[in-house]
Amino acid sequence: MNTFIFKNPEIVSNKIADKIIKIVNDKPNAVICIAGGDTPLPVMKELVKRAKRKEVDFTKAYFVGLDEWIGLDKNTRGSCIQTLEDNLYAPLELKENQIIFFNGKANNLKKELDRINKFIQQCGLDFILLGIGMNGHIGFNEPGVNFSSDAQVVPLDNVTTTVMNKYFDEKLPLTEGITLGFKQILNAKELVLMATGLKKADIVKKTIDTPPTNELPATAIKLSKNKTSFFLDEDAANLL
Ligand code: GLP
């Protein structure tokens, strides 16, 4: 596993965008997964900018969602799909069939899990961009997670239900998430964990220093047999 440290979030994002663009230029129908949350926003912006400049063509690529809050869909500002839709999918003018995303409002969640599991089983993931939660979660794989799980519905950890307020206009009574599981994440052909800002420095150091344990979910990425890297800015790498 490699760790790359760059001066600021903008440079980190440009480097990750370079990677995604190369993957899609080499394989136009690549399957890409980009986490929601704040961290990947500048990557999305860069991808849109470069697609507009015709440096890459996303018209044949597929975009898989990493996770969603149970009870939310694109009508709630701050939901994962809304973040991806507004910042990436809509500006790229993706067609509906190019987007494979959990519906957090589905009546039948078992069916929803089956739908996503089936797609990943058939197509796999060529690239996944992950963020890291303040408790070390990946997607909604919270502490205690089973590393060999497919997509699953999980109760949210206390840290997550506190931190989540930053995404929403009002307090929401959310208690569960739906997420790709580590079995799928670790099988991605290339995996990048991105972290920026001083507030991530402590959890980044813990993740790098700790052998794989389900108490700190992000440590699971060390178990991937595929290309895996940390992309950090100097602030997130401050304690290394
Ligand atoms: C959120 C999401 C994750 C995200 C992580 C970090 O709760 N479930 O997909 O990667 O936590 O979020 P942020 O980038 O906003 O710090």
Q: What is the pLDDT of residues 116-138, one digit of tens each?
A: 999 999 999 999 999 999 999 99
Q: Of residues 46, 67, 68, 112, which has the active-site annotation?
A: 67
Q: Of residues 46, 112, 142, 157, which has the active-site annotation?
A: 142
**Nearest alpha carbon to residue 150 among 127, 192, 178:** 178
**What does the alpha-carbon distance between residue 194 and residue 51 come to, in Å, rounded to a whole number?**
21
Q: Answer yes or no: is the C-beta of 131 below 6 A from any ligand 1 atom.
A: yes
At 178-214, the pLDDT tens digits run: 999 999 999 999 999 999 999 999 999 999 999 999 9
The DSSP H or E segment spanning 71 is none
Share of the chain above pLDDT 70, in %: 100
If you write DSSP's letter for every residue of 173-228 in order, what string do you get?
---EEEE--HHHHHTSSEEEEEE-SGGGHHHHHHHHHSPSBTTBGGGGGGG-SSEE
Predicted local distance difference test score (pLDDT) of residue 193: 98
Report the separation in Å between the CA atom of 179 and the middle of ligand 1, taken as the mean of its atom positions: 12
Predicted local distance difference test score (pLDDT) of residue 1: 87
Q: How far is CA 216 from the centre of its chain?
A: 17
**Nearest alpha carbon to residue 116 among 154, 139, 150, 71:** 150
Q: How many CA atoms lie within 13 A of 85 on its CB side?
A: 15
User: Do residues 208 and 239 touch, judged by C-beta distance below 8 A?
Assistant: no
Task: Please list the residues that pair with 128 across neighbouring strands.
Answer: 33, 191
Is 0.75 topped by the overall pTM?
Answer: yes
At 142-169, the pLDDT tens digits run: 999 999 999 999 999 999 999 999 999 9
Residue 135: active-site member: yes
Q: Of residues 46, 87, 103, 137, which has the active-site annotation?
A: 137
**What does the alpha-carbon distance between residue 80 and residue 123 come to, in Å, rounded to a whole number?**
22
Predicted local distance difference test score (pLDDT) of residue 49: 98
User: Do residues 143 and 206 touch, judged by C-beta distance below 8 A?
Assistant: no
Predicted local distance difference test score (pLDDT) of residue 39: 98
Report the separation in Å between the CA atom of 133 and the middle of ligand 1, taken as the mean of its atom positions: 5
Report the separation in Å between the CA atom of 59 and the middle of ligand 1, taken as the mean of its atom positions: 27
Report the separation in Å between the CA atom of 195 and the middle of ligand 1, taken as the mean of its atom positions: 10
**Nearest alpha carbon to residue 89 among 181, 119, 224, 97:** 97
Q: Answer yes or no: is the C-beta of 84 below 6 A from any ligand 1 atom.
A: no
- Greatest extent of the chain over all pairs of C-alpha atoms, in Å: 45
At 74-96, the pLDDT tens digits run: 999 999 999 999 999 999 999 99
